[in-house]
Chains A and B, each alone.
Chain A
Amino acid sequence: SQTIHQWPATLVQPVGSPLSLECTVEGTSNPNLYWYRQAAGRGLQLLFYSVGIGQISSEVPQNLSASRPQDRQFILSSKKLLLSDSGFYLCAWSGQGVSPLHFGNGTRLTVT
């Protein structure tokens, strides 16, 4: 069966520090991969999605970036964190076409 791993579960970082969140998927090949952000009391905001290695689409301009160095690995990065980057970050995968999203357990990021 397919599984998705996301780490770390929680992270506290100072303003201006770099960020790297990692997500890996097992049990499937060539998944679509996604990064979402969920601010407190708000819905999900799609940040990035990828249909293949090295192919990244950005939905919202910001100081975050994403990379997909391997088929089942998706990384969210920032060179310098802002206070507004605090939130709950969720990685997800889906099959090809319109299929449901399968989410990781999320990373709670607090920028201080």
Chain B
Amino acid sequence: AQSVTQLGSHVSVSEGALVLLRCNYSSSVPPYLFWYVQYPNQGLQLLLKYTSAATLVKGINGFEAEFKKSETSFHLTKPSAHMSDAAEYFCAVSDPASSSASKIIFGSGTRLSIRP
């Protein structure tokens, strides 16, 4: 069975500082991995996805994530935080061999706060 763990339910960084949101996964097969962002009272928006191509994935809004098989990690980073980055971030994992229904498993989320 697959699972995903997000370390830290709340992360606070200063504006302009590095953003690092941690995600570790458990999967018996090479997984597909996703990061989503959720702004207050809105749905989730896809930030980036890893589907077994390049291990460093670039997404929207200056975010990127690196797939590290040896560490079973897929941490999300951004070099310089902006106030508009304040939101909830979700890591998700899916088995590429799943049936046609894409059953994506979500982590519990990390709330990112940006200090002025």
A53 to chain B, nearest CB (A): 14
Contacts of B109 in A (CB 8 A): 42-43
Please name the residue on chain A nearest to B43 by beta carbon: A103
B46 in the interface, Cβ–Cβ < 8 Å?
yes
Query: Given contacts A43-B108, A43-B109, A44-B90, are A99 and B102 in contact (CB under 8 A)?
Result: yes
Q: Which of A12-20, A60-68, A89-97 contacts B (4 or more CB under 8 A)?
A: A89-97
* Interface flag for B69 (CB, 8 Å): no
Task: Tell me how many residues of A have a C-beta within 8 Å of chain B.
Answer: 26
For B95, the chain A residues whose CB sits under 8 A away are 98
CA gap between A101 and B38 in the complex, in Å: 13
Smallest distance from the beta carbon of A45 to chain B beta carbons, Å?
A: 9
Docked Cα-Cα span, A104 to B44, in Å, equals 8
Determine if B28 is an interface residue (Cβ-Cβ < 8 Å).
no
Contact in complex: B44, A51 (CB < 8 Å): no
Pairwise interchain contact A32-B44, C-beta atoms closer than 8 A: no
Closest residue of chain A to B6 (Cβ to Cβ) is A43
Q: Are B102 and A46 in contact (CB under 8 A)?
A: no
Q: Which one of A32, A43, A97 contacts B106 once the chains associate, using CB atoms below 8 Å?
A: A43
Is A112 in the interface zone, CB < 8 Å from B? Answer: no
Give A3 Cβ to nearest chain B Cβ, in Å.
Answer: 12
- Near A by CB (< 8 A), chain B positions 26-51 give 32, 34, 36, 41-46, 49, 51
- The interface of chain B, by Cβ under 8 A from chain A, is 32, 34, 36, 41-46, 49, 51, 90, 94-96, 98-104, 106-109
Residues of chain A whose beta carbon lies under 8 Å from any beta carbon of chain B:
6, 32, 42-44, 46, 49-51, 57, 88, 90, 92, 94, 96-106, 108
Seed contacts A43-B107, A97-B100, A98-B51; 8 additional CB < 8 Å A-B pairs: A32-B101, A43-B108, A44-B90, A94-B102, A98-B94, A100-B46, A101-B104, A103-B45
